[in-house]
Structure formats: structure tokens, C-alpha cells
Structure 1
């Protein structure tokens, strides 16, 4: 049975950083955002985290051969059709049921089966005992809960929603795509509603009995070594001090990975700085800070964040 650590949370919360650092640990294989593999990689042949086209990446070629006898045997249209019918936020109440209607259960398990095949093949290719999927999508995690062949554990990454909102307003290029391409942008109000929905959905997973560890971005960046020790223990790994030699409080030394998709940080190799991004304190207008704080107030309190924050960072 494949042991999967699913890194979840709303985008721009630090999930890619968590995934990249996890990928440096022995016994771990970080796969990036597998949810995008079908459209962007198999169909679009975008670049792997190693820099090669997906079709030219030796790692993903081997995974495809083991999982499906080659990626050409994957009916991408079928996978995307299943995704549209089962893996949507609006389907989470149904997915959270103790029993699914027979026809719907068959589709959910078929959809989860494609992912499970990828995880199992990646484990065989690398010898890893823990696979990391940083797809983030709460609905996908709810679908994977129905796989009988996964040991699913969830790292729920949370960041102050005002920092998330500020990040979603920025223009971020997608270097893996051909031509001019930018990542999606959201208004502060829209990102606040998404923050509530996705984080509440992960809380629901925990209430359903899925093992879940909440990781606060701000605490993780302040002490990444402690954060990785906690995540490794949660995933069933035992670390020696030497396993974290690549990491200090101020930087991490990253090697080349094979993230299928995700934030452009997945292409970063070498020394990267580790510092908390609080640019939103000055960059996000006061009206937007108040709006996001009001919309997200219940979960802000639950996660230990202040509801109101001044430009200087005070309550």
C-alpha cells in the first residue's frame, strides 16, 4: 500500500516550499501537483521540475511505463471527464458521506485509481517509502480518501489569509509554459472565500478520521527544522540530524526534483533563502485587510491569527 503525504491548502500558502523541503529527505519522493499531470504534462508536455519536457524526463517515463504501460495508454479525456464529475469543491459534502451511491462510488474510485497507480509506480522507481503530492485541492484529498490502496495522510498548510490574498493579486509568470503565460490572479474578496472553503474542507477530512497535521506557514518558516521533524514523524519517517544538513534557519540547499506541476519555485536549485513573507502588511490596502479579516474571522480565530491587523502588524 502506497503511503501518501498529501500537502493541502489554498495556493500561495507555502505548500510548494513545504513540498520542496520534504523532497530533500531520505525515503521521500516529491511529485509536485499531480492533479495537473493529465492536462499540463501528458497532453501539454510542459516542463518537469528537472527542466526537461515531460515526454523527455526519464523519471516520468519510467513511472508511466510501470503505472500504465506508457503514458500513451492513459485516456486523458476520461480522466478529465471523471475530474469534472467528482473532483469539485461542490462535491465535497457528498464525498464526505459514509456511503456513496453505487454509480458515483465507482467513478470516484476509478478517478482515485489513476492517482494511486502513479504513486505506486513512483515508489517502485525511487524506492521511496513516502510519496508527496502537493496538489493542494481539498476535493482531490476527499476523493483519495476512498482509495483502498492508499495510506493517506494530510499536511494541511495554513497561512494568514491576508498574506494569501496579497500574493494572489501579484503577476506570476509560468516559465514551464510556451509563450507568455501567467498564473491565475484573484481579488482579495475572492481569495478570502476560497481560503475559507478549502481550509474548512480539510478540517472536515480530519473529522472523518483522515490523519491530518496542520502546518502554519509562519511557524514553519521561523523554524523549518522543527517543522520538517514534525512532518517526517507524522509521515512515519525517523530522521537523523544529518538528514537535515541541507537546511538552516535562514536557507535551504535544494537539489533537482521532478515536480509535475506547481509554483515556479519547483525549478529552483541550489541555495534559496528562507524568510517569512510579510509584504502584505504594507502591500495590501487597509480596506482589503479589513475585508479579508471579516470574511475569514471564524477560522482566523480557530487557527490563532488576529482578526484585525494594522499596517505595522499589531492587532
Structure 2
């Protein structure tokens, strides 16, 4: 059974950074956003975090051989059909209540379980990290028989998330031909509420869930990684964290299947608070997002007044 550290939350909340740092631990293998592997990698042959196209990456070739006898044996259309049947946000209430056909759920989850187990075997890791983020996929995986699921729920101030979704960001894996999805602040605020609430529901279904605030993670990443390793049942030595330096991390090449462009970073990665939203996001939009997300912002310990947030950062 594969031990999986599943990073959940709304995109632009810092999950890629958490994934990259977890992936530096010697007993962990970070896989990126596996939810996108079937289309972007198996079918579209986009670039792995190592820089090679998926089909040319020795790590992923070995994973495919071990999991399926080769990626050519994966019916991507079938995976997509299963996804549409069970892995949608609208299906979460039914998944949580057990009202989705178990056979279909398990068939879909089995694709992921086989990838996780193969990646662990190929890398020699005790645990793999999937930063897919989707709450619906986490609800599917909790029903998988071959996955030991530990969920890390990453939250970030909704106003910082909203600002990040407004920015234009190239997708390097497509050689600059595409940019990442953008949302207006009202849309990202609604998604922030929905996705984060879904992870609260997951915890009430008995899944081990550890919530971390992105801002606090950046304040002391060493202590945060120790706590996450303990949550995942991993033993680490102090020297395992030597890649963390004062104000930055030294990163090795990874094999992230999909995700934020940060997955291509090798070498020095600055670790600093990104609070540009406090000035760059127009005041009216800050107030609107703050009002829309106020109950959950308070529940997560975020002050509603951005000026107060700046003082506490």
C-alpha cells in the first residue's frame, strides 16, 4: 500500500512550494499534480520537472512500466470518463455520503494507486507527494483500498490567492505557447470557500488531515517540515534539512508531472513572504474578497483588516 501525502487546497495557495520542500527529504518522492498526468503528460507529452518531455524522462518511463506495463497501455479516454463520473466538485456531497458507485470510484482510484506504488518503488521512497489539490480527488482517494492517505490542507489568505489568480503566468512546459488559468477576484473567492470547506468535510470522514497556513510555513519552514514528516509517519534526521538555508532552499532536480512553474526551479529558491497583494490588489477588491470569505478567514486565524494582516505577517 502506497503512503501518499496529498496536498490540498485552492491553487495559488503555496502547495508547489510545500511540495518542493517535502520532496527534498530523503524518504519522500514528489510527483507534482498527478490529476493532470493523464492528459498533459501521457497524451500531450508535456515537460517533466526535470526538463525532459514526459516520454523521454527515465523516471516516468520506469513508473509507467511498473504500473501498467508501459504508458501505452493506459486508456486515457477511460480515465477521463471515470473522472467525469466521480471526480468533480459537484460530486463531493455524494462521495462523502457514500452514494457514488464503489466499483467506479475504486476503478478510478486504482489508476492513482498504481502510479503512487510504482513511483515509490522506482524512487525507493517511503512516501510520495501528490499536489493535485483537488478536494474531489481527495474524497475519491479516501475510498481507495491501495492508498494510505494523509492530507495536508494548505490555506493562504484569500486576498493573496485572489491577486495571484489575476496574474498572467506562462506555462514553460508548453514552450511558452500557453498561460495558466486566470480568475477574477470574485470567482477565486467563491472557489476558495468551496475548496477549503470540502477539506473540512474530508476530515469529518475520518481521513487524517493536517491544516497548515502558507504564511506560517514560510516563517519557519524547518519546524513546519518536521511537523509534516511526523504527521506522515516519517523519521528524519536534522541533517536531512540541510538544504534549508537562511532565507532560501537549495533544490535538486525533481520529476513533477504538472503544476506551477516553480517545479522547474533547481538550485537556490528564495523563501520569502509574498504580500504584494496588499498594495497591488485594488482596495475595493480586497474588501469584496474579505467580505465573501470572512467566516473562513476568521476560522483560519486571518484578520479581516488587511492592514492588521500586514502587521502580523
- CA deviation map 1:182-224 (0-9, x unaligned): 0000000000000000000001111111001111000000100
Quote how far apart the aligned CAs of 1:249 are: 4.1
The answer for the alignment partner of 2:206 in structure 1 is: 209
Task: Decide whether aligned partners of structure 1 residues 166 and 179 sit closer, same or farther in structure 2, where only a CA change above 3 A counts.
Answer: closer
Quote how far apart the aligned CAs of 1:239 are: 1.4
The answer for the alignment partner of 1:147 in structure 2 is: 144
The answer for the alignment partner of 1:85 in structure 2 is: 85
The answer for the alignment partner of 1:38 in structure 2 is: 38
User: What is the CA–CA distance in structure 1 between the aligned matches of 2:57 and 2:235, rounded to whole Å?
Assistant: 30
User: What is the CA–CA distance in structure 2 between the aligned matches of 1:21 and 1:314, rounded to whole Å?
Assistant: 27
The answer for the alignment partner of 1:228 in structure 2 is: 225
- CA deviation map 1:21-76 (0-9, x unaligned): 00000110100000000000000000000000000000000000000000000000
User: What is the CA–CA distance in structure 1 between the aligned matches of 2:117 and 2:95, rounded to whole Å?
Assistant: 23
Alignment of 1:100 with 2:99, yes or no, is: yes
Contact 1:222 1:249 in 2 (8 A): no
Alignment of 1:128 with 2:125, yes or no, is: yes
Quote how far apart the aligned CAs of 1:240 are: 1.0
The answer for the alignment partner of 2:52 in structure 1 is: 52
TM-score scaled by structure 2?
A: 0.97
Q: How does 1:158-177 map to 2 (within 5 A)?
A: 158-177=155-174
Quote how far apart the aligned CAs of 1:260 are: 0.2
User: What is the CA–CA distance in structure 1 between the aligned matches of 2:130 and 2:139, rounded to whole Å?
Assistant: 14
Q: CA RMSD in A?
A: 1.3
The secondary structure found in structure 1 opposite 2:145 is coil
Quote how far apart the aligned CAs of 1:126 are: 1.1
In the alignment, structure 2 segments of 5+ residues that lack a partner are none
The answer for the alignment partner of 2:16 in structure 1 is: 16
Quote how far apart the aligned CAs of 1:105 are: 1.5
Task: Decide whether aligned partners of structure 1 residues 50 and 274 sit closer, same or farther in structure 2, where only a CA change above 3 A counts.
Answer: same
The answer for the alignment partner of 1:242 in structure 2 is: 239
- CA deviation map 1:92-147 (0-9, x unaligned): 000101x335xx22111111000000001011111111110000000000000110
Task: Decide whether aligned partners of structure 1 residues 227 and 106 sit closer, same or farther in structure 2, where only a CA change above 3 A counts.
Answer: same
The secondary structure found in structure 2 opposite 1:253 is strand
Which of 286, 292, 295 is equivalent to 1:295? 292
User: What is the CA–CA distance in structure 1 between the aligned matches of 2:246 and 2:179, rounded to whole Å?
Assistant: 31
The secondary structure found in structure 1 opposite 2:236 is coil
User: What is the CA–CA distance in structure 2 between the aligned matches of 1:219 and 1:210, rounded to whole Å?
Assistant: 23
Quote how far apart the aligned CAs of 1:149 are: 1.1
The secondary structure found in structure 1 opposite 2:245 is coil
The answer for the alignment partner of 1:113 in structure 2 is: 110
- CA deviation map 1:234-288 (0-9, x unaligned): 0111111100000024100000000000000000000111001000000001100
User: What is the CA–CA distance in structure 2 between the aligned matches of 1:271 and 1:282, rounded to whole Å?
Assistant: 27
In the alignment, structure 1 segments of 5+ residues that lack a partner are none
User: What is the CA–CA distance in structure 2 between the aligned matches of 1:283 and 1:314, rounded to whole Å?
Assistant: 17
The answer for the alignment partner of 1:279 in structure 2 is: 276
TM-score scaled by structure 1?
A: 0.97
Quote how far apart the aligned CAs of 1:180 are: 2.0
